[in-house]
């Protein structure tokens, strides 16, 4: 599989009033052609800085960023402009021109590259049809909902036939229902147009819904990277665990109570593991929370349980769950 982006030992240091701040620290990762790649982290983790190195809106302090094997730092201004035509970007704030109609907003990027008027009008209409907004082509942004504005931004980004679409917190300003619709649209575009998509977000739900792989950024460091289903099922880093584990509103019954997280996929969902544990071992656990979700199109369930006080019973229960094929993680 061909690599679209490859980052090697990337550092980014900002200087302000004589002080230095490292936004990225020795980040190495690659993005493959045709995948939806998520970059997730809490606010200030460095994820937006990272995505801006992918089109050289941010110059790296050291290390390298390559696009289809070309080191971006080596490109002359004309070459860099050509590369940027292959890398479109959409943002949380939509960045639409309020004084222009929807179709003229979509045409803007085509006008910049010198496409003839009739040709760009036809192309813009095609893109608006892709995002389901052709009937709104003569409206102004002020008359659109947030979801519709983001669809226009996506149509504008697609108009130049990019190889990559960068999405920087593109759904953060939208409500959950509209977020789901936008993510479904991006997934459809990825599948139908074979477009590589890089999504920057602080929401694990976004990554779980449509991403193939995910990189977790924590305080400028690459804390973890892998297939979404693997990171969800068995997060290794503390940063990943904070993002993956659900908030637990329940208190444990004992001050030193031990809490674990059980994860199972759709093939195991019909097995009554808790009832079987009680029946076969006599050991009881306290269920604190449970839910199911779709991760990469596969149904997963997760359960937070408090283990019994006795250490031997605890180990017996953990072994029982592991032997049953469940992923078991301790919740701190």
Residue at 113 is within a domain = no
- What pLDDT is recorded for position 217? 95
Q: Is the pLDDT of residue 212 over 70?
A: yes
- What pLDDT is recorded for position 189? 92
pLDDT band at 70 (very low <50, low <70, confident <90, very high): very high
Which range in 111-115, 155-159, 289-293, 302-306 is most confidently predicted, on average pLDDT? 155-159
Smallest CA-to-CA distance from 46 within 76, 75, 72, 26 is with: 26
Residue at 287 is within a domain = yes
Mean pLDDT along residues 33-52: 92
Q: Is the pLDDT of residue 290 over 90?
A: no
Percent of the chain with pLDDT over 90: 45
pLDDT tens digits for range 178-210: 888 999 999 999 999 999 999 999 888 889 889
- What pLDDT is recorded for position 265? 74
| CB contact set of 156 (below 8 Å; sequence gap of 6+) | 96, 105, 106, 108, 109, 127
- Whole-prediction pTM value? 0.85
Q: Is the pLDDT of residue 246 over 80?
A: no
pLDDT tens digits for range 151-170: 999 999 999 899 999 998 88
Residue at 311 is within a domain = yes
Smallest CA-to-CA distance from 205 within 40, 76, 87 is with: 40
CA angle 267, 273, 278 (to 5 degrees): 165
Number of folded domains that form the chain: 1
pLDDT band at 58 (very low <50, low <70, confident <90, very high): very high
Residue at 239 is within a domain = no
Residue at 255 is within a domain = yes
Give dist(CA 154, CA 241) in Å, integer.
32
CATH number at residue 262: 3.30.70.260
Instruction: Report residue 100 as tokens.
Output: 């222009």
Tell me the helices (H) and strands (E) count for the chain, helix number first: 11, 14
Smallest CA-to-CA distance from 8 within 56, 51, 58, 62 is with: 62
- Least confident interval from 12-26, 166-180, 285-299: 285-299
Smallest CA-to-CA distance from 146 within 209, 108, 89, 92 is with: 92
Residue at 139 is within a domain = no
Smallest CA-to-CA distance from 167 within 67, 87, 58 is with: 87
Residue at 65 is within a domain = no
- What pLDDT is recorded for position 226? 94
Of 197 and 254, the structure prediction assigns the larger pLDDT to: 197
Q: Is the pLDDT of residue 270 over 80?
A: no
Smallest CA-to-CA distance from 136 within 85, 96, 101, 179 is with: 101
- Which helix (H) or strand (E) is 50 found in, with range? helix 47-53
- What pLDDT is recorded for position 169? 86
Domain, as residue range, for 260: 248-331
Q: Is the pLDDT of residue 272 over 70?
A: yes
Residue at 259 is within a domain = yes
């Amino acid at each position: 599989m061909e690599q679209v982006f490859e980052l090697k030992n990337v550092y980014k240091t900002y200087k302000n009033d004589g002080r230095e701040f490292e936004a990225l620290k020795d980040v190495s990762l690659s993005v493959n052609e045709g995948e939806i790649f998520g970059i997730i982290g809490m606010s200030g983790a460095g994820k937006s800085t990272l995505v801006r190195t992918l089109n050289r809106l941010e110059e790296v302090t050291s290390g390298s960023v390559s696009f289809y094997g070309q080191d971006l730092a080596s490109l002359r201004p004309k070459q860099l402009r050509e590369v940027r035509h292959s890398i479109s970007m959409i943002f949380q704030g939509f960045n639409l021109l309020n004084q222009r109609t929807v179709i003229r907003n979509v045409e803007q990027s085509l006008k910049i590259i010198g496409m003839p008027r009739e040709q760009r009008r036809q192309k813009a209409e095609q893109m608006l049809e892709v995002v389901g907004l052709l009937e709104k082509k003569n409206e102004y942004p002020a008359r659109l909902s947030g979801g519709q504005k983001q669809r226009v931004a996506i149509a504008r980004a697609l108009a130049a036939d990019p190889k990559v679409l960068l999405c920087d917190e593109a759904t953060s300003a939208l409500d959950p229902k509209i977020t789901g619709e936008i993510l479904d649209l991006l997934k459809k575009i990825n599948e139908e147009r074979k477009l590589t998509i890089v999504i920057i977000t602080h929401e694990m739900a976004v990554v779980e819904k449509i991403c193939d792989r995910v990189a977790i950024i924590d305080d400028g460091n690459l804390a973890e990277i892998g297939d979404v289903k693997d990171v969800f099922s068995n997060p290794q880093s503390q940063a990943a665990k904070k993002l993956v584990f659900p908030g637990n509103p329940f208190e444990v019954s004992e001050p030193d109570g031990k809490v674990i997280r059980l994860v199972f996929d759709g093939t195991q969902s019909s097995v009554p593991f808790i009832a079987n544990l009680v029946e076969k071992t006599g050991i009881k656990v306290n269920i604190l929370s449970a839910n199911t979700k779709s991760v990469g199109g596969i149904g997963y369930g997760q359960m937070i349980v408090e283990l019994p006080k006795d250490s031997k019973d605890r180990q017996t229960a953990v072994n029982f769950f592991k032997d049953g094929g469940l992923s078991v993680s301790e919740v701190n």
